[in-house]
Structure 1
Amino acid sequence: MAAVVLGGCGGDPEGTSESATPSPSPTESTAPSEQPGETQAVEVNGAQLEVPADWIVTAPSTSERATLGAPKDASGHSYGSGIFNSDITLADDTEDLAESQSRVAPKAKRLADVTFAGQTFFHFRELEGAESLDTYGTVIDGSEVTVAWGFNSKLATREQIDEYINQVMPSFKFVG
């Protein structure tokens, strides 16, 4: 029984249901656009993401959730992170999981659904103080896959946050 986890590390980390494919947003930052071409693969229970090499990944094993930390800027601050989870679920489908998420985060707004690797994910966004929370989730073959992003909205603009997320989410794969 897995629960969607909202949050980010270091005080850093916000959905109407229509299908859309995400596209990178323009950025005003130097940090996200300077990502190296190399990536590191992160796998959690058969769900995979590719993360830029300069990100900090904490993954105890391939069967537990992983934390994906955005790179630090010149002053040593990271603007946010994501929690990547894949586990068995009691949800019947993605819509059922989204309804559960809306109960966990009643102030979050549901944005248009997005598609990664042919799989539809719900997308919720919430502003909570200085934190901008974006949660994506889907159900695949009896497993739920969630990525809960948290960014400090006082350090990063919405465009910068979207660019960080779009560096990772389009690389999604599920290998079971």
Structure 2
Amino acid sequence: MKGETWSLANHPLFQAALTGDRAIAIADTTQDLGIQTDPDLSAQFQRASIRSCLLVPIRYHQTWLGILELHHCGDSAYVWSDSERVLVEAIATQVAAALIQAQAYTNLETLNQQLAALERTQSNLIAIVGHELRTPLSTIQVCLESLASEPEMPLEFQRSMLETALGDSERMRSFLLNK
């Protein structure tokens, strides 16, 4: 069966297992009308020597995840017991839980990657904002310290220092308002 493609998705036998939400046991595939009326499926069962099969839907709440199939190969038919059905149904329940957990883990990994990218973006934004604010703050500080420490500074220099400080404070204000 390895490497073969089985188009079962729309086959009535498999649809019955899904819609009926129950195990379907076929003791003899050579006598089952559902299989025998489909020449391709019948031929595939014959090539694989599948004489009996048990189909159990894998479902988690209202979500269909697949079908668990057991095949009995050989010359004679096999009647699946109730205990075998119950066991395989329990296994299908565990498979469903494992599949949902694997999907949740994959989703969590994706969310963690998105969170890491968001944190990098946030860090870059903080670095840019810090740079944009540090430069004018440094200029304002130098201008104000010069004005405070040099009372005899010529009026033209004082005016230039105040204009520079006011210009940089306006640059900071507009930066903060536009971001």
TM-score, normalised on structure 1?
A: 0.26
- Which structure has the bigger radius of gyration? 2
Higher RCO, Cα 8 Å, sep 6+: 1
If each structure's helix is expressed as a fraction of its own residues, which one has the higher value?
Answer: 2
TM-score, normalised on structure 2?
A: 0.25
